[in-house]
Chains A and B, each alone.
Chain A
Amino acid sequence: MNPAKALDIENLKTYYYSEDGNVVKAVDGVSLCVSEGEFFALTGPSGCGKSTIGFSILRLIQSPGKIISGKVLLDGRDLLLLPERDMRRVRGTRISMIFQDPFTSLNPVLSIGEQVAEAPRTHFKISMREALEKAEVLLKKVKIDNPALRMRQYPHQLSGGQRQRVMIAIAISCGADFLIADEPTTALDVSTQAGIMELLQELRTDQGLSVLFISHNIKLAEKHCKKIAVMSRGRIIQRLR
């Protein structure tokens, strides 16, 4: 046990209850542990519960889904037992998430600048001006070309890769050191994919970001991740390396 644990999931169970009384055991007793600064891949076919784990960590499971049991430990605190208020604090400042489809995960009516600045303003009492300055620094950090111009543009004026970079900028804006990347490259072409993966790797080495990389692309996972867990039907069936 040399590197410290960033996040420890023990025996997590998340079920969905359909109206006719059926229970779908989306996550059925999963345990995994991500160390600090680690790139951990969670792979498996569609519908095996990968994304549900991501949402469960942040407690964003919407009804009819429910977290039944288990523990999600962050610094020894069980996130599943936190009051909603504290949980909201954890989202963004400790753990963030980026999503599969960068085309729909940005708000179309807010400019990129406003949108990136919005994130720190949810957690810290800072003025819009400060937040905007911070946003520009963040956009530089995620290597968007011409940040000053991008700040004023709207999501539809950006390409998919650039939007995903904006999402990453938002995700790290409040100091989160754990990133859940839910299929971050699936909607992108191969070369853009490589760019995003490179960026994530860089953030990992530079800032000690731990990444839970959720993807059905095992090849990509093998290339970038030290540890890989393969899921099927809500359980981890194989651990590689």
Chain B
Amino acid sequence: MPEERIKAPKMKRFRKNKLAVIALFLLFFMGTVAVFAPFAAPHDPDEIRSTALEAPSVKHFFGTDDFGRDIFSRTIYGARISLSVGLVAVSISVIVGFFFGMISGYFGGFIENFIMRFVDVMLSFPSIFLILAVQTMLTPNIYNVMVVIGLTSWMGVARLVRAEVLSVKERPYIEAARAIGASGPRIMLRHIMPNVIAPVIVAGTLGMAGAILTESALSFLGLGVQPPLSSWGNMLQDSQAYLRDAPWMSLIPGLLILFTVLCIYLVGEGLREEIGR
């Protein structure tokens, strides 16, 4: 089929980008492990198994923490929390950002000004303090963490989408759609949206890394995911006091955060190059 031949080069650059491919593979692996945590983890993450602060061994790959819980199992369950917080928070921010960006780009005028000035205001808050303030007022649990992170990180997407819509809506094919009687919402959803989605995917990928970092920071400060649930952030917090006696306790979740975020960035960069923005 000639179609095959023409489509082939599409993801070629991404595939050539070995780092991005490896990163994507690792992320996929982590995601799978997180989804099947009950099967992947050797022990119950909350079970007190041995004396506290046991060094890594064959029995406990990553050692045990201050309560004698298996760190390996806890990191696997923690991956669930960290990855899902990242995913949900980014989904929220992309949906909200898309909505506002689309509306302000398409309608222009007063609506655009109003939304974009609101974006400016939101952007000028130091968001970590805003999140901390909101979290102290709400009961800190993972759902609140997801929503709060999502609702404080949609502004970039909104700006991006607005800029794209501004350029797309003046193209002749939008005029052509109008000429066959397409309504406003239809033009936005069926004709403009598919053109705008590519850069948003890139932004969303990169945003996910940020969301995971923010969740870690929140949990580290004790305002995120609450014990006994484990997330990589609150595992780090637990390990603070034992930095010298049990370095593995802080190293493991710390390195995991580092690698996950790095992988996401590499995939995001690969996509960015592929899409060409």
Chain A complexes with chain B: yes
List residues of A whose CB falls within 8 A of some B CB.
58, 60, 88-93, 96-99, 101, 104-110, 118-119, 122-123, 149, 152-153, 157, 167, 170-171, 173-174
Contact B180 A122 (CB under 8 A): yes
Interfacial chain B residues near A118, Cβ < 8 Å: 177, 182, 190-191
Interfacial chain A residues near B124, Cβ < 8 Å: none
Name B179's contact: one of A89, A97, A157 (CB within 8 Å). A97
Contact B182 A60 (CB under 8 A): no
Which secondary structure dominates chain B's binding surface? helix
Name B194's contact: one of A96, A97, A109, A152 (CB within 8 Å). A109
Contact B179 A60 (CB under 8 A): yes
Interfacial chain B residues near A122, Cβ < 8 Å: 180-183, 186
Contact A119 B180 (CB under 8 A): yes
Cα A96 to Cα B178 in complex, Å, equals 10
Interfacial chain A residues near B3, Cβ < 8 Å: 149, 152-153
Min CB–CB distance A186 → chain B (angstroms): 13
Interfacial chain B residues near A99, Cβ < 8 Å: 172, 175-176
B32 on the A face (CB < 8 A)? no
Name the CB-closest residue of B to A58: B179
Contact B181 A88 (CB under 8 A): yes
Cα A204 to Cα B3 in complex, Å, equals 34
Contact A109 B195 (CB under 8 A): yes
B16 on the A face (CB < 8 A)? no
Contact B175 A60 (CB under 8 A): yes
Interfacial chain B residues near A89, Cβ < 8 Å: 181
B171 on the A face (CB < 8 A)? yes
Cα A76 to Cα B110 in complex, Å, equals 38
For chain B, the bracket of interface size reads 20 to 34
Interfacial chain A residues near B176, Cβ < 8 Å: 97-99, 105-106, 167, 170
Number of contacts between A and B (CB, 8 Å)? Answer: 69
Question: If the complex has contacts A107-B191, A118-B190, A157-B6, are A88 and B183 also in contact, measured as CB distance less than 8 A?
Answer: yes
Min CB–CB distance A211 → chain B (angstroms): 15
Interfacial chain B residues near A152, Cβ < 8 Å: 3
Question: If the complex has contacts A149-B3, A157-B6, are A104 and B173 also in contact, measured as CB distance less than 8 A?
Answer: yes
Cα A88 to Cα B177 in complex, Å, equals 11
Known: A91-B181, A99-B176, A174-B181. 17 other contacts (CB 8 A): A60-B179, A88-B181, A92-B180, A97-B176, A97-B179, A98-B176, A99-B175, A107-B194, A107-B195, A108-B173, A108-B195, A109-B194, A110-B194, A118-B177, A122-B186, A123-B181, A170-B180
Min CB–CB distance A86 → chain B (angstroms): 10
Question: If the complex has contacts A101-B172, A105-B172, A106-B173, are A174 and B180 also in contact, measured as CB distance less than 8 A?
Answer: yes
Cα A157 to Cα B6 in complex, Å, equals 9
Question: If the complex has contacts A58-B179, A92-B181, A93-B181, are A104 and B171 also in contact, measured as CB distance less than 8 A?
Answer: yes
Min CB–CB distance A152 → chain B (angstroms): 6
Cα A149 to Cα B3 in complex, Å, equals 9
Q: List 17 A-B contacts (CB under 8 A).
A: A60-B178, A60-B179, A92-B181, A96-B180, A99-B175, A104-B171, A104-B172, A105-B175, A107-B191, A108-B195, A118-B177, A118-B190, A122-B186, A149-B2, A149-B3, A152-B3, A170-B176
A-B CB proximity, top 3 nearest: A91-B181, A92-B181, A92-B180
Min CB–CB distance B131 → chain A (angstroms): 36
Cα A90 to Cα B59 in complex, Å, equals 76
Cα A123 to Cα B191 in complex, Å, equals 15
Min CB–CB distance B120 → chain A (angstroms): 26
Contact B173 A96 (CB under 8 A): no
Name B173's contact: one of A60, A93, A107, A123 (CB within 8 Å). A107
